[in-house]
Amino acid sequence: MSAPLTSLDRPNSYIGRSVPRPNAKRLLAGRGRYVSDLRLPRMLYAAFLRSPHAHANIISIDAGRASALEGVHLVATGVDLAKICSPWTGTLDHFKGMISAPQLPLPLDRVVWAGQAVVAVVAESRAIAEDALELIEIDYEDLPIVADIDSAREGGGPLINPGSANNVCFRSQLDNGSVDDAFAHAAHVVEEELSFGRHTAVTLEPRAIVSDYDPSAEMLTVHHATQTPYQFQDLYSRHFGIPEARVRVIATDIGGSFGMKLHVYHEDMAVVGLSILLGRPVKYVTDRIESFVSDIHARDHRVRARMALDAKGEILAMDVLDLTAIGAFSTYPRTSVVEGNQVIRLIGAPYRFKNYRARLEVLFQNKVQTSQYRAVGHPIACAVTERLVDMAAAKLGLDPFAIRAQNLIADDAYPQTSPTGYRFEALSHQACLKRLHEMMDYDGLRAEQAELRKGGIYRGIGIAAFVEITNPSPAFYGVGGARISSQDGAIISLTPSGEVRCLISVTEQGQGTEAIISQIVADQLGLAQEHVKVITGDTEVTPHGGATWACRGAGIGGETALQATRALRRNILEIAALILQEQPSALDIIDGEVVDAGTRNQRMPISEIARIAYFRSDTLPPGTQAQLTVSHHFAPQGYPFAFTNGIQGCSLEVDVETGLIKMLKHFIVEDCGRVINPMLVDEQLRGGIVQGLGAALFEECRYSETGQLVNGSLADYLVPMPMEMPDIVIAHIETPTADTDLGAKGCGEAGTAAASACVLNAVNDALAPFDATINSIPITPARVLKALKRF
């Protein structure tokens, strides 16, 4: 009773409230509508024959027996599809000097990774299509393989792009300040080389597509398990020469995406081509083994970095070299260099120092492409920075909290520009650090660690501060020539019975997009949330927009919905004012009723306004045209990104006999600006942390010397399971962005951003008594034992 009233005590106030997702009930009842569930009349099924070689010339393909198999409708090679699909090239203009070979759905004469799709079969069932694959004979001529970063950098070795001088996709350099001078005058220098293995998204639903070309209507409809339907509408239109308005992409329920489902995949382009060639719907769902060899992988970096500090422990400078291996092509349309670019620009981001130099080298190799996956570049930048900070603390005899307290950008020092050129509007590192210290009971954990160490139990405590990129503006992809929208759109209507329908371009993959949009609309309009229906993921229906990636759903999509709703509200109140002979400003809407703004006395339900406007417009004053549908677009302005920040901490135990690591507890203090639905934000953070912990401890795409992925199944590739994962304690600081009325920033990548850095620091902390260090991620038992010289 004594708690003061907050904004949440207002009727219909939903912004900031933990409400469940309306659409989750369907998924819980097994009534999801995933693309892999879809079956259309006359639908056929595609399967692909994949290259067993990492690098080889295709000498000949004999598909005669496959074509003759009953039930087979089409066998298509690269040549067949190249006739109807123009090639694509994964470069962006603002990455100067970047190269990548043109790509086609299926290769014409050469394969460049083991698992690359070479021939497509379309048949009456997937099983028949797979039977036919076994009847295809391909004659290959092996070529030398570029297997890793070192062989890619060697001069005179095999080239992945014939005609190019080397295997370099892109080189870049940042140099801000007097780095050499700072190192020359530093009291302390710490240096480390860290390596980060390849891992992959492992969405529970593999990639899925049903392409339906109707030649009579010259219309292409693609049901595509993707995050970015508008991007694919544009791509299918341009590469297959179909007018954009005749291409429809529908993305209904998506069984996990994490950035993996927004890249162009060769098979997807092939399936669209196959449906055009056949004039029938064609379905393709990757099986799990295909997912491992054809979904994008991520990370694969080797970073050498050093940090200079003065005698008191002030960071003076950082100097970095990031080498990253991206596979045989750069992905399209977002490219495979964005991750490296973000690594070198995010390193050191939480800290106050001026002198920074970084070089980036992006290299081709005979492996599947790497590209954007949850928290692009963040975990690497964070691990490099935070490891060096911990090493500096150890060298100076400072506590990890103390060195951060000394060097983090002060909460009252904004706006700030990082030495790498990022502009920060307002961050809260100091507040987060302080909060984490209390939340972890840091002093208690340290005391416990010391006590247990006497008994041969080695626990480690790790912390890692991070900066996350959210709400990207056109400066991200648009500037490089990519047709990827940074704006979003909403069409919001008052229905004749007084409910609201909101079509919005941000998409739902389980984050709760539809829930938060309905919260914002209900909140701004003064309706109960159940009276708002949100529709996403259909280019024929929803307005064009960037959709959901890089943490832009709440910050950009939410602001779009907010502004659209305010416009609709103005229109409703204008009509109400005409009917009630009042000034619109004297009216408000609460619980679906137009009320007097001052007294809250009910005047009329908005359903009555809708009824009159739609069915009895003759009773409105002459000249009134009721606008009960509002279309509104919003593009971010002001800061190019809404940066968020936070800090994570963890406590773990290393078994020095087996090398096994047991996570005990994980903590995060996170600042994503205005929180729209705390429960959904917390679940995003937990999910993100668990993906980060997977990367830190288990996940690695391991290749043989011949370029074969050797752990491409869920029995061999380990992802985190419930038993290995700790409980995760969450706290929030809210620093809303002033660039929007809503003030929301993203939160989906914050968990992943710092989890591996945190674990790396904690494991090194646990191993400190042994003078052993770990500098590779994932931190497998074998690597722990090797560091301990026990393996």
Partner 1 sequence: MSGFDESLLDDADETERVRFVVNGRKVACEVAPRETLLDCLRNALELTGTHAGCEMGACGACLVQLDGQAVHACLMFAVQADGATIDTIEGLTESGVIADLQAEFHRRNALQCGFCTPGMLVNAHELLSQVTRPSRRDIRDALSGNYCRCTGYEAIVDAIDAVAKARSERGGVT
Which positions touch partner 1 (CB under 8 A)? 20-21, 24-32, 34, 36-37, 39, 64-71, 127-128, 131, 135, 201-206, 253-258, 285, 287-288, 509-512, 679-680, 683, 685-687, 689-691, 713-715, 719-723, 725, 727-728, 751
d(CA 352, CA 339): 23
By beta-carbon proximity to partner 1, the closer residue of 387 and 666 is 666
CB atoms within 10 A of CB 487: 18
Residue 267 in 3-state DSSP? helix
Angle at 274 between CA 269 and CA 277, to 5 degrees: 130
By beta-carbon proximity to partner 1, the closer residue of 34 and 414 is 34
Least distance between partner 1 and beta carbon 606 (Å): 29
Task: Scan for tokens 């920040």, then name that residue.
Answer: 645
By beta-carbon proximity to partner 1, the closer residue of 245 and 714 is 714
d(CA 643, CA 673): 10
Could you give phi then psi for residue 448, rounded to 5 degrees? -65, -40
By beta-carbon proximity to partner 1, the closer residue of 125 and 417 is 125
Q: Dihedral sign, CA of 28, 33, 35, 37? A: positive
Amino acid at 108: L
Least distance between partner 1 and beta carbon 73 (Å): 14
Least distance between partner 1 and beta carbon 132 (Å): 9
By beta-carbon proximity to partner 1, the closer residue of 1 and 723 is 723
How far is CA 740 from its chain centroid? 22
Q: How many residues does the chain have?
A: 791
Least distance between partner 1 and beta carbon 135 (Å): 7
Least distance between partner 1 and beta carbon 668 (Å): 10
Least distance between partner 1 and beta carbon 76 (Å): 17
d(CA 487, CA 546): 6
Least distance between partner 1 and beta carbon 704 (Å): 21
d(CA 507, CA 292): 25
d(CA 503, CA 487): 15
Amino acid at 365: Q
What b/e readout covers 7-44, taking b as 16+ CB neighbours within 10 angstroms? eeeeebbbbbbebebbbeeeeeeeebebbbbbeeeebb
By beta-carbon proximity to partner 1, the closer residue of 407 and 513 is 513
Tell which residue, 206, 8, 221, has the closest CA to residue 712. 206
DSSP H or E run through 431? helix 429-440
Q: How far is the CA of 700 from the CAs of 32, 103, 297, 635, in angstroms?
A: 31, 27, 10, 38
Q: Are 143 and 55 in contact (CB under 8 A)?
A: yes
Least distance between partner 1 and beta carbon 661 (Å): 17
d(CA 230, CA 237): 11
DSSP H or E run through 758? helix 750-767
Least distance between partner 1 and beta carbon 740 (Å): 25
By beta-carbon proximity to partner 1, the closer residue of 39 and 454 is 39
Least distance between partner 1 and beta carbon 435 (Å): 20
CB atoms within 10 A of CB 497: 11
By beta-carbon proximity to partner 1, the closer residue of 247 and 515 is 515
Could you give phi then psi for residue 410, rounded to 5 degrees? -70, 145
By beta-carbon proximity to partner 1, the closer residue of 75 and 264 is 75
Least distance between partner 1 and beta carbon 564 (Å): 26
Cβ-defined contacts of 61-66 (< 8 Å, 24+): 61/118, 61/119, 61/136, 61/137, 61/138, 61/139, 62/136, 62/137, 62/138, 63/119, 63/135, 63/136, 65/135, 65/136, 66/121, 66/132, 66/133, 66/135, 66/136
d(CA 139, CA 133): 14
Residue 212 in 3-state DSSP? strand
Least distance between partner 1 and beta carbon 116 (Å): 22
In terms of C-beta density within 10 A (0-12 exposed, 13-18 middle, 19 or more buried), how is residue 434 classed? middle
By beta-carbon proximity to partner 1, the closer residue of 158 and 726 is 726
Least distance between partner 1 and beta carbon 249 (Å): 19
By beta-carbon proximity to partner 1, the closer residue of 135 and 656 is 135
Residue 639 in 3-state DSSP? coil
Least distance between partner 1 and beta carbon 106 (Å): 21
By beta-carbon proximity to partner 1, the closer residue of 462 and 636 is 462
By beta-carbon proximity to partner 1, the closer residue of 370 and 677 is 677
Tell which residue, 110, 84, 499, has the closest CA to residue 279. 84
By beta-carbon proximity to partner 1, the closer residue of 134 and 180 is 134
Least distance between partner 1 and beta carbon 500 (Å): 22
DSSP H or E run through 127? helix 126-133
By beta-carbon proximity to partner 1, the closer residue of 184 and 721 is 721
Tell which residue, 340, 428, 379, has the closest CA to residue 758. 379
By beta-carbon proximity to partner 1, the closer residue of 457 and 679 is 679
Least distance between partner 1 and beta carbon 205 (Å): 5
Least distance between partner 1 and beta carbon 646 (Å): 15
What dihedral do alpha carbons 168, 169, 173, 174 form, nearest 10°? Answer: -150
By beta-carbon proximity to partner 1, the closer residue of 27 and 567 is 27
Least distance between partner 1 and beta carbon 28 (Å): 4
CB atoms within 10 A of CB 643: 25
By beta-carbon proximity to partner 1, the closer residue of 564 and 728 is 728
Structural tokens at position 576:
């109400």
